[in-house]
A and B are shown apart, each in its own frame.
Chain A
Amino acid sequence: AQSVTQLGSHVSVSEGALVLLRCNYSSSVPPYLFWYVQYPNQGLQLLLKYTTGATLVKGINGFEAEFKKSETSFHLTKPSAHMSDAAEYFCAVRKSGGYQKVTFGTGTKLQVIP
């Protein structure tokens, strides 16, 4: 079975500071990995995805994530936080090889302090 662990249910950063949201996964086969963002009163919006190829993937709103197989990690980063980044972020994993269900992490709520 696959699983996702997001360290830190709440993260606070100052505006302009680095954003780092951690995600570790377990999967018996090469995974597909995703980050989603959920703003208040909205659904989930895809930020970025890793399927194959380049391990550093860039997404929307200046976010990027790096797939590190040796560390089974897919941490989300952004060099400089903006107030509009305040939201909840979910990491998700799906096993490759035929359709598999997506497993979501428990989410990390990002607070940006002015």
Chain B
Amino acid sequence: SAVISQKPSRDICQRGTSLTIQCQVDSQVTMMFWYRQQPGQSLTLIATANQGSEATYESGFVIDKFPISRPNLTFSTLTVSNMSPEDSSIYLCSVSGEEDNQPQHFGDGTRLSIL
């Protein structure tokens, strides 16, 4: 399975600032996903990022708040903009093959705390 590296692994940020999270994969993948995992909760899909097209956002998430880039088949970034304490979460990058029976694989996540 693909090896997924996320940076930073954790950060503490001031409210009103923005943070960009990087996701690097060791092989080319078509589908990349960004999830949010709030404390003690399950995963919520933020958006699907496919190379060469605009990211597709889920209900409740907007591009102005969570802009995503996908410049090539091995890399993506998620920016959390104008952060507030409610944005304190784990943000997870995930990848999947094109076949629908393939599982998703995850990076170790970015643990973000907003003061």
- Enumerate chain A interface residues (CB-CB to B < 8 A): 32, 34, 36, 41-46, 49, 51-52, 90, 94, 96-102, 104-107
B92 touches A106 (CB 8 A): no
Q: Can you pick out 22 interface pairs between chain A and chain B where the beta carbons lie within 8 Å of each other?
A: A34-B103, A34-B104, A41-B108, A42-B108, A42-B109, A43-B106, A43-B108, A44-B94, A44-B106, A46-B105, A51-B101, A90-B43, A94-B100, A96-B101, A97-B100, A99-B98, A100-B100, A101-B45, A105-B42, A106-B41, A106-B42, A107-B41
Residue of B nearest to A36 (CB): B106
Closest-CB distance, B112 to chain A (whole angstroms): 13
Partner of B92, one of A43, A52, A105: A43
Q: Is B1 an interface residue (CB 8 A)?
A: yes
Q: Do most interface residues of chain B lie in helix, strand or loop, or is the interface mixed?
A: strand
- Enumerate chain B interface residues (CB-CB to A < 8 A): 1, 4, 6, 31, 41-43, 45, 48, 92, 94, 98, 100-101, 103-109, 111
Closest-CB distance, B50 to chain A (whole angstroms): 10
A43 touches B109 (CB 8 A): yes
Residue of B nearest to A106 (CB): B42
Query: B45 — which chain A residues lie within 8 A by C-beta?
Result: 101-102
Given contacts A49-B101, A52-B101, A96-B101, 11 further A-B contacts (CB under 8 A): A34-B104, A36-B106, A43-B6, A43-B106, A44-B106, A46-B1, A46-B103, A99-B31, A100-B100, A106-B41, A107-B41
A45 touches B43 (CB 8 A): no
Q: A44-B92, A99-B31, A99-B98 are in contact. Are A90 and B42 (CB under 8 A)?
A: yes
